[in-house]
Structure 1
Amino acid sequence: MSSNRVVSMLPSAAEMIALCGGESMLVARGHEDDFPHSITSLPIVTGANTVFTSSADVDVQVSQALAQGNALYTIDAETLKKVQPTHIVTQDLCHVCAIDLQTVERIAKQMDPKPEIVTLNPLTFQDVLDDITRIGVGLGLEKQASEALGKLNERVTAARAKADTYLEKNGGLRKRCLFVEWTDPVYPGGHWTPQLMYMAGGEQRIAPATDTVGAGPSARVTHEACIASDPEIIVISPCGLNLKEARRETDLIKDKEWFKTLCKPGVRVCLVDGNQMFNRPGPRLVDALEFLVGYLWEDDSLIPADFPWERYI
């Protein structure tokens, strides 16, 4: 049996650890680590200083906290020390999305023995897949990670082949897409999300990417810019919000003039659970790719049966 005692401070990390067969190594988790469901009984070592009310209000809370130099997240140092981890898996990608690396390192230095810190910093879809290998190596699960990655790559290859077939039938014309990562203010999908759209046969003009180059961090855009990108397909998947919450936030903007202009006749709009899908850089990005191929090209048979989404317009 492995003597590793692992703490995940990142939802995608917990998924990758479980995918590689390391779920039994987990001794604690971050407050947003909720998949697989079997890990939710583990002690929680992080927390959020913001309270979700609405997209607009959370944006204000985050902006004010950052302006004042206040942390967005907390670590329960006592619980962390109590579980005596040998490894902590965290991130250094987004200070708004999860606990920052510097805070984790500061607390880890106070622990004896000091745990090894495995840091994830994916900027592209390929980086996300590479992180599976990184976790496998870090936790002594190289073989299991390699096998899991092989299966994911097979699905990616199959999904891309379907997309290429539809794209060819469409004369090479890509579907014009807009992925909404936050509704008020509007943040379009960044990093790997526009890549997934490109791989599925679409393109996000407002924050473009290719199959090998990500779009960079998501940044606030104007309503006019959204309209000018002229999308025919809009995917609304607010970061951290489930499907019910995504519907509620979309309902808050549906009667605004800019949104009605954006959703002109013929435009298709869907909602996706933004807590579980797209915004979480883990293995289920492959599910998201399969969903996009099916939704963009109107072939529901390609969409995973349990994918959390619904049509809105």
Structure 2
Amino acid sequence: MGLTNSSVKEDFILVGFSDQPDLEKILFVGVLVSYILTLIGNAVIILISSIDPKLQTPMYFFLTHLSLVDICFTTSIVPQLLWNLRGPAKTITVLGCAVQLYVSLALGSTECVLLAVMAFDRYAAVCKPLHYATVMNPQLCLALAGVAWLSGIGNTLIQSTITLLLPRCGHRWLHHFFCEIPSMIKLACVDIHANEVQLFVASLVLLLFPLSLILISYGHIVKAIVRIKSTQAWQKALGTCGSHIMVVSLFYGTIIAIYIQPNSSYAHTQGKFISLFYTVVTPTLNPLIYTLRNKDVKGALGRLFHKDPGI
């Protein structure tokens, strides 16, 4: 019994939205529905990209990886969030917090790089259409996907380990709904200025560097379309790149608000709602954006669910 009590005392308390109990009930329903849609939507994209011959292209290869990242990312956070929203218990074990920190940061970092890789793919498709198959060969696609995953794993091994090694002196009230570095370093009972600087530098590398590559890719795409001066080319490019631009805007717009800012401006409530957006809402919207704006995906869904028995 003593062991149980001591282990409970070491658990982290995820304050989350406990100061707004009425909001918790609404959030529980919203998060649950969003999570179910995330699992279904991304699983469908993985399924049709794997079995439909017309989707055996680099774009859908990377989209499959994005869907896998989104499923795993939300699963590392949402079940614990739902458990905490449904009742008074707001705790998470030290091990559970460590696992959540490592996994969610690895997947979030992977998505940053993966979105940059997808922008390069769109650049090759629009600017090098005649050489697209040669440029985006299977070996390069595998290598680029590997770089994205390894970047995420490498980043979390460094960042999460440093964060977990900080002395907390018994502090365990985490003003967040999951274990995330900006809020976890606040539990430290030592000067965390060096950690904040190190986090800021790491965020610059893994957020702004991929975002710069995305902007460069789309800069070349815009220049290529302007040279053609064709309305049809504009429409085709928008159809090719529009979904990716929307996903990038949603993901980077919210995650940068958390990681690229002075720690003092990281307001508890504001930060939690921004985090809620990129951890729960964005992974739900991604498959919707790609299916609603994409004729190939809609065609593949039609072939999957309305197969002609005579064919």
Same fold by TM-score greater than 0.5:
no
Higher strand fraction (1 or 2): 1
Q: As a proportion of its length, which structure holds more helix? A: 2
Q: Whose radius of gyration is greater, 1 or 2?
A: 2
TM-score bracket, shorter-length normalisation: under 0.3
- TM-score, with length taken from structure 2: 0.28
Q: Which has the higher contact order (CA 8 A, sep 6+)?
A: 2
TM-score with structure 1 setting the length: 0.28
